[in-house]
């Protein structure tokens, strides 16, 4: 399948505003070479953004996608149509209130039937925060997200080390890159049995790990107490990524960090680089 | 009438609905008959202080509420101001003190839910929440229980619904040991053409009740909030509502889809006094009447009486007024969000408030009497005279050296780091928070524009305790200063007045004076008051809170990229103090901590100087001359400098001589270092900017003193303070951590 739309020429690269009194994280972002802006290559990707009742990062994800020069379409939880999305984002929020267990109800939404079929056929699915919780509940990713060890909600900046570049989502990063991306959750502690953890490590499916600001290991002292300090993982085929931190909140230095933009650009870069999508969208 | 009539209400009947005998007699006279039990309950709720403002209304009328930017002043669900680009900022602050004292988690959570509804009822999308909290000292386990519960409740609701909690304030004081204060402010944005009012019109139009089913929770909430708490208050836990933020999220999205829709004639949320209060106000604003049929409201439980349905304060409910032909299509919008709706009322041409239970008419009251008829309450007595003022003379000298004092202050519960609180709130959802919690004011950008909104709440009850009028003026000026520190121009105010029992003359006169003070400061700074809330009877067993004025301030900066932050930035930058230097320790945090008293007179305030100082800072920021600007508040100059060091993670050196003569006395130095003189900012800037800043200061006629420079890893004031930034940080960050 070829790109459906080309030639949105003249789309300006968003101006980067330097934060005053910038943290070392900002400094890092400033020094890093930005990947080429995809819209300048004339490529327009379509990100489908799921909206469950209780989802609240949908608008932020749309903003980030559009800032990156791509197209966002909203996918309503009661529908089954993925509207030709190249990549489906399951955003943050409290889908259906999450009164039972985060993601436990959302996995049964009509939309999730299509998302699962899309993922199983190799389509790109990206779960962020609540989206990661939903992917685990839907068994599209292994493990589970439980209450933070502090038993409190945490909204803090975190630093993520890129552990694996063997996926569409991280291919544009270098292994060992440290990204400043905030978290905001009460149930983000990644847990799995020893066997699963060993498999994830062996197969290099840990995409991101929480580290300190200087890149050194947190050794279990992450803000949510995740096993192996895991912040994000990919599935076996590496077309499904789940992560607790919010890259859509780290796309502009005005808001403290632009490191998250790299991930949005990576997805588009690889897809456009191949010139073909892994699979046709299921509708 | 088929309801049981009763000859005359007993004292117990009146106590249940919190009406006085005199009010009851007034009601019977106006009505020309005895009310039935339901009518008495409805009047009790609407004549409660919480709904009728019978004590404060005559005083609030003196506040300035007009200005070129004001689109909607007091009287609607929230105020609205023009922020440019065709947009309006809609905002309000409201208290939820009484429920939070009884059930801290749900009390605070539903406080957030209630203020959010006030904003999206007007068609505005909420973009920020702020909370102003006050508790007794944390040495008592019960205070820790309240504090943790309230913080968890605010987070539980705000995080789930996905509106960022970007700022606020937190104080601990003896005066709140028996009555904690929970004030929540919400700010929303709407295209001016989509501003929706809660003014019913068109006899024959129908009223939809949307959202949660009606249960027995929160019955008498308004009356409950209008009496003093006592030993039996815990038994009133059923009067506290339970929140469902998920349901509110769905209700909010559905209502926002309908903002500006011509099918919606009016929108009104259900808050205090439930269906009764909302239907009455909706009709009264429109100069029409309303007939409610309680049998049509979906119930959460069986066997509810009309009385319970009318007075239930079940949360997450909304009223929509529409033409009969539009009702079905509106219901479809709600159904998409899985929200249930019932047609419960019809608009009447004559101003009556009629309630039916199916075919039975159970209440018929003149609407004007119900909404506006509560006899206003004047001063309960003459202004008390006598030794009300505690003098500061003769207090023992401070036990600390300046080094010890700065660490004690920066690590005290009132000046310590709030990070352990705001990290429990999502303060970034919405992709708009430019200045995060921890600075002077939060700064939220307005999506799709270059505009930014600076938001702050402020109120120092130690000053209002000493002098209500002066303290209230300072609260307005300081809230404005917080906003100005970011480079934003203050445009409007909302206020929450928390007082003890106004039936006591001293409390009533404090309320009177505080409102006068707010008015005077707002007139001087040309900032109108567009919304507000009064919470009285914050009194338990005869112990009342200190008068507490909380000011919510909104400022606008045209280009958010031009913003200024509070932390020092670059090594070698110069530090200066803008504003007066005086040794005023009365009412200060230092006086409380070092001497254990709150005594004397609050800091002097010259509103004319205040206005000049603020204009100076605004002009300096917009000219790009400043690297930082920080309001000099609790803890004085020394703490302002330490805070700017902490925020910027860099040290500073300051010369005491630059601050004027130390007078060679410990108390004199403490007064200069820790005194809380008003109208001051600590600023930092590159050396090259000094000449222009001097010239600017001269033009605005404001005192401008070079203090020292930024750099290193210590906080130094020559000859008296020399502490490492790491020690300051350790003290600051440990302030609220529970010690075993």
B540-563 pLDDT, tens digit each: 988 999 999 999 999 999 999 999
Exposure class string for B383-408: b at 16+ Cβ within 10 A, else e: eeeeeeeeebeebeebebebeebbbb
Distances (CA, A) of A108 to A79, A83, A101, A111, B665: 12, 19, 13, 8, 73
Question: What CA–CA distance (Å, rounded) separates A215 from A239?
Answer: 26
pLDDT beyond 60 at A23? no
Q: Which residues of A touch B425 (CB under 8 A)?
A: 153, 155
- What does the angle CA A233 – CA A238 – CA A241 come to, to the nearest 5 degrees? 40
pLDDT, one tens digit per residue, over B313-358 is 999 999 999 999 999 999 999 999 999 999 999 999 999 999 999 9
In Å, how far is B97's CA from the nearest CA of chain A? 24
Indicate whether B29 pLDDT > 80.
yes
Contacts of A20 in chain B (CB under 8 A): 563-565, 569, 627
Sign of the C-alpha dihedral computed for residues B290, B292, B298 and B301 taken in this order: positive
Q: pLDDT tier at B233 (50, 70, 90 boundaries)?
A: low
User: Which amino acids of B are annotated catalytic?
Assistant: 50, 96
Q: State the pLDDT at residue B17.
A: 86
How would residue A13 be classed by pLDDT, with cut points 50, 70 and 90? very low
CA B200/CA B700 separation, integer angstroms: 49
State whether residue A110 sits within 8 Å of chain B by CB: no
Confidence of residue B583 (pLDDT cuts 50, 70, 90): confident
Looking at residue A4, what is its pLDDT?
A: 34
Query: Quick one: pLDDT band at residue A33, thresholds 50, 70, 90?
Result: very low
Per the model's pLDDT, the better-predicted residue between B313 and A276 turns out to be B313
pLDDT computed for residue A103 by the predictor: 93
Q: How far apart are CA B292 and CA B353, in angstroms?
A: 8
Most confidently modeled range among A69-83, B6-20, B398-412, B666-680 = A69-83
HEC profile for B391-449? CCCCCCCCCCCHHHHHHHHHCCCCCCCCHHHHCCCCCCCCCCEEECCCCCCEEEECCCC
Q: Does A62 touch chain B (CB under 8 A)?
A: no
- Average pLDDT over every residue of B498-522: 96
Contact B337 A20 (CB under 8 A): no
Q: Which of A113-117, A194-198, B41-45, B86-90 has the lowest mean pLDDT?
A: B41-45
Beta strand pairing call for B125-135 and B165-172: parallel
The phi, psi pair for B105, rounded to 5°, reads -65, -55
**Which residue among B160, B425, B430 sits closest to A94, beta carbon to beta carbon?**
B160
Q: Residue B232's pLDDT is what?
A: 65
Question: Would you call B430 and A59 a contact, using CB atoms and an 8 Å cutoff?
Answer: yes
Compare CB distances from A20 to B159, B245, B565 and report the shortest one's residue: B565
Res A272 pLDDT > 80:
no
Mean pLDDT across B492-502: 97
Local confidence band at A24 (pLDDT 50, 70, 90 cut-offs):
very low
Report chain A residues whose CB lies below 8 A from the CB of B155. 153
Give the nearest partner residue to B428 out of A53, A59, A184, using CB atoms: A184
Phi and psi for B401 in degrees, rounded to 5?
-80, 165
Give the pLDDT confidence score for residue B563 in this predicted structure. 97
What confidence tens digit (pLDDT) does each residue in B394-432 have?
666 667 888 999 999 999 999 999 999 999 999 999 999
What is the percent of chain B where pLDDT is above 70?
92
Q: Do B627 and A60 touch (CB under 8 A)?
A: no
Per-residue pLDDT, averaged over B478-485, amounts to 98
Residues B246, A53: C-beta atoms closer than 8 Å: yes
What is residue A1's predicted lDDT score, i.e. its pLDDT? 31
Range in A263-277, B209-223, B523-537 with the lowest mean pLDDT? A263-277
| Residue B227 clears pLDDT 90, i.e. is over it | no
Res B490 pLDDT > 50? yes
Cβ of B326: how many Cβ atoms within 10 Å? Answer: 18
Q: Is the pLDDT of residue B483 over 80?
A: yes
Half-sphere exposure of A159 (CA within 13 A, CB side): 18
pLDDT per residue as tens digits for the range A121-133 = 999 999 999 999 9
DSSP letter assigned to residue B301:
S
What are B189's strand-pairing partners? B89, B125
Please write the tens of the pLDDT for every residue from B36-51.
Answer: 999 999 999 999 988 9
- Which residue in the set A153, A249, A251 is minimally distant from B159, CB to CB? A153
pLDDT(A14) > 70: no
CA distance B43 to B223: 10
Which chain A residue's Cα is nearest to B434?
A255
User: Does residue A137 have a pLDDT over 70?
Assistant: yes
Report chain B residues whose CB lies below 8 A from the CB of A184.
159, 426, 428-429
Fold exhibited by the domain A24-273? Rossmann fold (3.40.50)
State the nearest Cα–Cα gap between B447 and chain A, in angstroms: 10
In this predicted structure, what is the pLDDT of residue B8? 75
Q: What is the mean pLDDT of residues B13-27?
A: 90
> How much is the pLDDT for A279?
40
CB burial of residue A99 (10 Å; 0-12, 13-18, 19+):
middle
Q: Is the CB of B569 less than 8 angstroms away from the CB of A153?
A: no
Q: Is the confidence at residue A278, as pLDDT, over 50?
A: no
B428 neighbourhood in chain A, CB within 8 Å: 155, 182, 184, 246, 249, 255
Q: Among B431, B566, B571, pick the best mutation site for testing chain A contact (most A Cβ within 10 A).
A: B431
Q: Are A53 and B162 within 8 A, CB to CB? A: no
- State the pLDDT at residue B190: 98
Contact between B250 and A254 using a beta-carbon 8 Å cutoff: no
CA distance A161 to A215: 7
Res A102: pLDDT: 93
Residue A95 has pLDDT above 70, yes or no: yes
Both structure tokens of B491: 């445009």
CA distance B193 to A6: 36
- With residues binned 3-state (H G I as helix, E B as strand, rest as coil), the percentages for chain B, rounded to 5, are 40, 25, 40
DSSP string, A34-102: PPPPGGGGTB--EEEEEE-TTB-SHHHHHHHHHHTT-EEEEEETT----TT-SEEEE--B-GGGGSSST
Q: Is the pLDDT of residue A281 over 50?
A: no
CA distance A94 to B25: 52
Whether the predicted pLDDT of B363 surpasses 70? yes
A93/B162 touch (CB, cutoff 8 Å), yes or no = yes
A13 or A163, greater pLDDT:
A163
Contact A154 B245 (CB under 8 A): no
> In which residue are the tokens 């101006």 written?
A15
The residue among B661 and B107 whose pLDDT is bigger is B107
Nearest to B425 among A56, A92, A155 (CB): A155
| Contact criterion met (CB < 8 Å) for B428 and A156 | no
Candidate from A60, A156, A186 with C-beta closest to B429 = A60
Q: What does the alpha-carbon distance between residue B186 and residue B203 come to, in Å, rounded to a whole number?
A: 33
A251 interaction partners in chain B (CB closer than 8 Å)? 431
Average pLDDT, chain A: 84
B392: distance to nearest CA of chain A, Å?
A: 41
Q: What is the pLDDT of residues A158-199, one digit of tens each?
A: 999 999 998 989 988 999 999 999 999 999 999 999 999 999
Compute the distance between CA of residue A108 and CA of residue A116 in angstroms, rounded to an integer: 11
Of A53, A64, A184, the CB nearest to B426: A184
Cα gap A165→A208, rounded to integer Å: 10
Interchain pair B429, A56: CB under 8 A: yes
- Find the mean pLDDT for residues B238-251: 88
What is residue B671's predicted lDDT score, i.e. its pLDDT? Answer: 84
Question: Between residues B628 and B226, which one has the greater pLDDT?
Answer: B628
Of A197-211, B40-54, B317-331, B495-509, the one with minimum mean pLDDT is B40-54
User: A53: which chain B residues are within 8 Å (Cβ-Cβ)?
Assistant: 246, 249-250, 337-338
Active site amino acids of A: 129, 246, 248
> What integer is the mean pLDDT of B505-512?
96
Domain residue ranges of chain A, discontinuous segments joined by + = 24-273
pLDDT in tens, B653-705: 998 666 655 444 444 478 888 999 999 999 999 999 999 999 999 999 999 99
Q: What is the pLDDT of residues B512-529, one digit of tens each?
A: 999 999 999 999 999 999
pLDDT band at B281 (very low <50, low <70, confident <90, very high): very high
Which of 185-244 (A) contact B at CB < 8 A? 186
Interface with chain B: mutation pick from A184, A187, A222, A251, highest number of B CBs within 10 Å: A184
The pLDDT assigned to A274 comes to 47
Average the pLDDT over each of A12-21, A68-77, A194-203, B404-413 and give the range with the smallest value.
Answer: A12-21
Give chain B's mean pLDDT: 92
């Amino acid at each position: 399948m070829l790109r459906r739309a080309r030639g949105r020429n003249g789309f300006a690269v968003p101006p980067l505003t330097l934060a005053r009194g910038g943290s070392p994280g900002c400094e890092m972002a400033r020094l890093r070479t930005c990947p080429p802006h995809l819209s300048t290559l004339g490529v327009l990707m379509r990100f489908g953004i799921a909206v469950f009742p209780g989802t609240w990062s949908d608008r932020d994800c749309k903003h980030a996608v559009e800032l990156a020069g791509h197209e966002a379409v909203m996918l309503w939880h009661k529908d089954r149509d993925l509207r030709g999305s190249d990549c489906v984002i399951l955003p943050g929020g409290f889908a259906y209130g999450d009164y039972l267990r985060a993601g436990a109800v959302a996995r049964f939404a009509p939309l999730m039937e299509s998302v699962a079929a899309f993922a199983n056929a190799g389509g790109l699915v990206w779960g962020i925060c609540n989206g990661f919780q939903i992917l685990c509940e839907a068994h599209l990713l292994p493990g589970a997200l439980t209450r933070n060890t502090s038993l409190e909600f945490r909204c803090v900046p975190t630093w993520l080390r890129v552990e694996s570049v063997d996926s569409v989502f991280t291919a544009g990063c270098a292994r060992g890159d440290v990204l400043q991306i905030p978290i905001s959750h009460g149930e983000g502690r990644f847990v799995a049995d020893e066997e699963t953890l060993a498999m994830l490590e062996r197969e290099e499916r840990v995409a991101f790990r929480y580290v300190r600001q200087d890149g050194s290991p947190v050794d279990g002292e992450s803000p949510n107490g995740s096993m192996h300090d895991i912040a994000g993982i990919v599935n076996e085929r590496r077309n499904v990524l789940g992560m607790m931190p919010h890259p859509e909140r780290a796309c502009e230095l005005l808001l403290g960090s632009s490191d998250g933009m790299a991930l949005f650009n990576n997805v588009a870069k690889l897809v456009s680089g191949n010139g073909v999508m892994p699979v046709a969208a299921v509708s | 009438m088929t309801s049981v009539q009763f000859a005359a209400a007993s004292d117990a009947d009146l106590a249940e609905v919190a009406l006085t005998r005199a009010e009851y007699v007034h009601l019977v006279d106006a009505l020309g008959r005895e009310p039935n039990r339901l009518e008495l309950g409805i009047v009790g709720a609407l004549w409660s202080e919480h709904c009728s403002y019978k004590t404060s209304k005559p005083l609030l009328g003196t506040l300035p509420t007009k200005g070129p930017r004001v689109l909607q002043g007091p009287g609607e669900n929230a105020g609205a101001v023009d922020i440019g680009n065709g947009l309006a900022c809609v905002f309000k602050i409201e208290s939820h003190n009484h429920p939070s004292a009884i059930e801290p988690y749900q009390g605070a959570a539903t406080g957030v839910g209630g203020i959010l509804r006030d904003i999206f009822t007007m068609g505005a999308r909420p973009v920020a929440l702020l909370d102003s909290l006050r508790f007794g000292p944390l040495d008592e386990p019960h205070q820790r229980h309240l504090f943790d519960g309230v913080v968890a409740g605010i987070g539980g609701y705000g995080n789930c619904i996905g509106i960022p909690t970007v700022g606020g304030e937190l104080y601990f004081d003896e005066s709140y040991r028996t009555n904690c204060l929970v004030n929540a402010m919400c700010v929303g944005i709407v295209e001016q053409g989509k501003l929706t009012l809660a003014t019913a019109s068109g006899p024959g139009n129908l009223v939809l009740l949307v959202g949660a089913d009606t249960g027995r929770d929160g019955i008498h909430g308004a009356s409950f909030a209008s009496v003093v708490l006592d030993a039996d208050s815990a038994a009133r836990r059923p009067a506290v509502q339970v929140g469902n933020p998920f349901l509110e999220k769905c209700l909010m999205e559905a209502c926002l889809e309908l903002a500006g829709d011509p099918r919606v004639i009016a929108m009104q949320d259900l808050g205090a006094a439930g269906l009764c209060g909302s239907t009455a106000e909706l009709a009264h604003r429109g100069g029409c009447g309303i007939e409610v049929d309680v049998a049509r409201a979906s119930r959460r439980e069986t066997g509810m009486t009309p009385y319970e349905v009318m007075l239930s304060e079940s949360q997450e409910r909304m009223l929509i007024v529409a033409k009969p032909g539009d009702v079905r299509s509106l219901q479809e919008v709600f159904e998409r969000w899985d929200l249930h709706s019932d047609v419960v009322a019809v608009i009447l041409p004559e101003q009556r408030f009629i309630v039916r239970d199916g075919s039975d008419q159970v209440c018929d009251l003149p609407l004007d009497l119900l909404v506006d008829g509560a006899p206003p309450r004047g001063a309960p007595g003459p202004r008390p005279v006598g030794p009300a003022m505690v003098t500061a003379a003769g207090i023992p000298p401070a036990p600390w050296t300046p080094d010890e004092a700065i660490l004690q202050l920066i690590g005290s519960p009132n000046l310590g780091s709030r990070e352990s609180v705001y990290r429990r709130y999502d303060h970034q959802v919405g992709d708009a928070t430019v200045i995060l919690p921890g600075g002077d004011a939060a700064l939220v950008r307005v999506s799709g524009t270059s505009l930014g909104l600076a938001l702050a709440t402020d109120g120092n009850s130690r000053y209002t305790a000493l002098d209500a009028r002066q303290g209230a003026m300072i609260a307005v000026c300081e809230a404005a200063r917080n906003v100005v520190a970011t480079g934003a121009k203050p445009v409007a105010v909302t206020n929450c007045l928390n007082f003890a029992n106004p039936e006591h003359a001293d409390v009533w006169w404090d309320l009177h004076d505080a409102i006068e003070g707010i008015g005077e400061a707002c007139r001087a700074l040309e900032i109108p008051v567009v919304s507000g809330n009064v919470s009285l009877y914050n009194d338990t067993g005869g112990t009342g809170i200190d008068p507490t004025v909380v000011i919510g301030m909104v400022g606008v900066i045209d280009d958010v990229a031009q913003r200024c932050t509070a932390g020092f930035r670059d090594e070698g930058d110069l530090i200066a103090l803008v504003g007066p230097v005086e040794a005023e320790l009365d009412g200060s945090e230092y006086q409380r901590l070092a001497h254990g008293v709150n005594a004397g007179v609050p800091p002097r305030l010259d509103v004319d100087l205040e206005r000049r100082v603020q204009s100076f800072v605004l002009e300096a920021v917009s000219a790009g001359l400043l690297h930082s600007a920080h309001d000099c508040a609790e803890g004085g100059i020394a703490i302002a400098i330490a805070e700017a060091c902490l925020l910027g993670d860099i040290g500073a050196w300051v010369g005491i001589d630059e601050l004027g003569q130390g007078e060679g006395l410990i108390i004199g130095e403490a007064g200069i270092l820790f005194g809380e003189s008003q109208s001051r900012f600590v600023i930092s800037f590159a050396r090259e900017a000094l000449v222009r800043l001097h010239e600017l200061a001269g033009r605005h006629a404001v005192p401008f003193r070079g203090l020292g420079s930024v750099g290193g890893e210590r906080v130094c004031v020559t000859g008296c303070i020399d502490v490492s930034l790491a020690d300051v940080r350790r003290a600051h960050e440990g302030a609220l951590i529970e010690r075993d």
